[in-house]
Structure formats: structure tokens, C-alpha cells
Amino acid sequence: MTTRVRDTARSYNLILMAQSTNSETEDNRGILEILSAGAEIAGGAAGAAAGLMVAGPVGALIGGVGGPVLTNVLKKLGAEVHRRLLGPREQQRVGAVVAFAVERIKQRLDSGEEVRSDGFFHPGSEGRPAAEEVYEGVILAVQREHEEKKLPFMGNLMANLAFQKDIDRPYANYLVRLADNLSYRQLCLLLLFALKDKSMLRASDYRSVPSFSPALIGVLQEALELDQRGLTGSGSAAFGPSDINPAKSTTQGAGVSLLLLMELQKLPPQDTQSLIAILAK
């Protein structure tokens, strides 16, 4: 799979080299190199993204009013990243996230949805499109993300912000920072605490528990961080890990935004099940 994707990218490069050198050609070359590297993680999604981003006219990825603009934003970012001094694994992470994002964008477009037309992709008073700034934040976050299980969900975040017109530039930047700072297990906790039926979870806090296993204290500490950030809540203040009440904890505020935009319902069931086993009655 990886070899096939890399061969595809090399074929595109042969075509590009035959063209006159211009900014568009350089952008195409940059995004292809990044997607080629991303194939190590994203597999076939990287090859499909390469075809959507480069084959045919500008905007082949998506039609409609916002199509060419979104395509060009992604190409420009890919070219900028390609010019940076990144390690091989960093390039793979960035390429994978772009591939995941392109794949999810295409899925939403194929279902009849349209990208936002509120100026998110156009220069504003800040001098650059909000999309460039926000997407660069995602790319900077993932290039150093050691928990690579987060990458598909960072790609979802990147993709879904292209459609969510009620998320403005400041809030989008804030959500990217939050997603960057949360661990993969905390993302699982956001999903777990959003479930309507939490009867499988402990229905009281841990103040009366004499000792904690390493597994339990680790999960409670991460749950406490979510509570202190305001991403979850149980109706009473939590000052320490023993104050966490799993069954009463509910995802709220920006935690709900992350849940929806990152599509955390797609997290592997076994990962949430492992948390349920730790936080059971």
C-alpha cells in the first residue's frame, strides 16, 4: 500500500517537473511529498487524497463556491510544511492528518453538504484566512503528537471546521489548542461521560476508598484535568482525584464541541470499554 502511494506521488511529480515552475506547481509538489510521507500512517487515504488534491483543475477536491479556495488553502499549507525542517516521523504525522482531513471533507461533500461561505477561507482584517491560521495550528500540533491514535480525530477536526460556520476564528483556535493538549485517553473520557446511560460506572466519588491502583489513579487524574478545564462537570467542585464521580460526570462546554468536531463516537469501542472496566462500580 505504501509503495503504491509513493509511486503515485512520484508519477505526479514527473508531470509537475515538465510544467513551467510557478507557485501552483510548487504547492502541488509540496502537498504530494507530504501525503506520500503520510501513507506510512494513513495508508490508502493518502493516495486518494493525492489524486483529489492535484489531479484535474484546481478545486478538483470539491466543487461549489468554496471548493477551489479550500483546496488552495490545503495545498499552500502542505507546501509550507514541506519547506520546513521536519523529521521523517513528523512528516508522516502531518501527511496522515491532511489525508484523513481530505477524506472526511470528500465524504461530507459527497453527502450533499457545502463548505462554509462566511469568509473563513478568505483574508480578513488579520491579513490571512482564518482557515490557514487554524489549520496551521492543527499541523503544528500533530507534528509533535506522540499519541498517534489521535491523528484520525485531529483530521476530523480539521475537516469539520470547514463546514461549521458557527465556529469563528478565536473559538476554532481555542479548540485546536485544547485538542492538542488532551491525551488520547481524555478524548475517550469525553465520549464516555457524554453517554446517556452511565449505569455501568461508579455512582459515587472515591473519598472513602483507602487506596488506589495505578490504573485508577491515572484515569482519575486525567478526569480531574477535564473537570478543571470545564470540559466535564458533575454538579459539584472537584479539588482532587478522589472527588471524581464517574456516573455523574457529564461532558459540557467546549468538551461537547470537541466531541462533535473530532467525531469521538468513532473511537474504538475497546478503548472506552477499558475505561469502563476501571471506573466500574
C-alpha span between 265 and 190 (Å, rounded): 10
pLDDT tens sequence across 136-195: 999 999 998 999 999 999 999 999 999 999 999 999 999 999 999 999 999 999 999 999
Residue keyed to cell 515552475:
21
C-alpha span between 255 and 275 (Å, rounded): 18
Average pLDDT over residues 42-58: 75
C-alpha span between 61 and 56 (Å, rounded): 9
Domain boundaries, the chain: 2-181, 184-278
pLDDT tens sequence across 89-115: 998 999 999 999 999 998 998 898 988
Residue 6 has pLDDT above 80, yes or no: no
Q: Identify the helix (H) or strand (E) that includes residue 250.
A: strand 250-251
User: Taking the model in full, what pTM does it have?
Assistant: 0.87
C-alpha span between 37 and 89 (Å, rounded): 8
